[in-house]
């Protein structure tokens, strides 16, 4: 199973995410993510043997306990890119309120799953929702302009849980399904 740990955005944000993506529709080279599958990835685990699932689930329960994060409000707003505006690979929607809680959950998850042998992250964590990936730089200037000029707010919602999510790669892009949800305490 190809797994990651996520915070999923509510369905009612789908249209607003599409509206933000539409601002970049004329940018050649962008491959947009499915707004119906919008999420913040707390930790990408990769391929996991089914026999390891109980250990992963226990690690996530411990991470929630150690992070000491109760259900919280998160505001999805602002734009950014990875790694930088000079060389764009990912276009993303940011997190304002709630970013500290997401970072605490990421750090606790990172500690617990690396103890199981998963690879540690090789970059700093920035809570974000991927809007598009840049496959070639044809529309780079439009992306740069929009990131610098636009400041969208998609909305604020309560985050009551994190999810262990499976990603199945298909010809139409990845399809996500929840393996298990873990309530924040």
What are the catalytic residues?
A: 39, 128
> Can you name the residues that pair with 7 across neighbouring β-strands?
40
CA distances from 173 to 33, 167, 168, 185 (A): 8, 10, 8, 34
Spell out the residues 6+ positions from residue 41 whose beta carbon is closer than 8 angstroms to its own: 4, 5, 6, 130
- Pair 103, 40: CB distance under 8 Å: no
Distance CA 9, CA 156 (A): 10
Which among 124, 38, 133, 119 has a CA at the least distance from the CA of 91? 133
Number of H helices, E strands in the chain: 4, 9
The secondary structure element, H or E, covering residue 12 is none
């Amino acid at each position: 199973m190809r797994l990651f740990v996520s915070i999923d955005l509510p369905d009612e944000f789908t249209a607003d995410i599409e509206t933000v993506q539409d601002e970049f529709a004329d940018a050649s080279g962008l491959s947009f993510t499915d707004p119906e599958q919008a999420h913040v990835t707390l930790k990408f685990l990769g391929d996991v043997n089914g026999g390891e699932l109980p250990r992963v689930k226990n690690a996530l329960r411990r991470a929630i306990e150690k992070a000491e994060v109760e259900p919280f409000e998160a505001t999805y707003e602002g734009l950014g890119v990875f790694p930088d505006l000079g060389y764009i690979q990912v276009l993303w929607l940011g997190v304002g309120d709630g970013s500290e809680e997401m970072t605490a959950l990421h750090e606790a998850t990172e500690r617990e799953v690396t103890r199981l042998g998963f690879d540690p992250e090789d970059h700093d964590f920035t809570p974000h929702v991927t809007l598009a990936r840049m496959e070639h730089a044809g529309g780079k200037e439009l992306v740069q302009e929009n990131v610098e000029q636009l400041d969208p707010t998609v909305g604020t919602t309560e985050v009551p849980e994190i999810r262990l999510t499976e990603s199945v790669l298909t010809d139409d892009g990845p399809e996500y399904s929840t393996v298990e949800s873990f309530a924040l305490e």
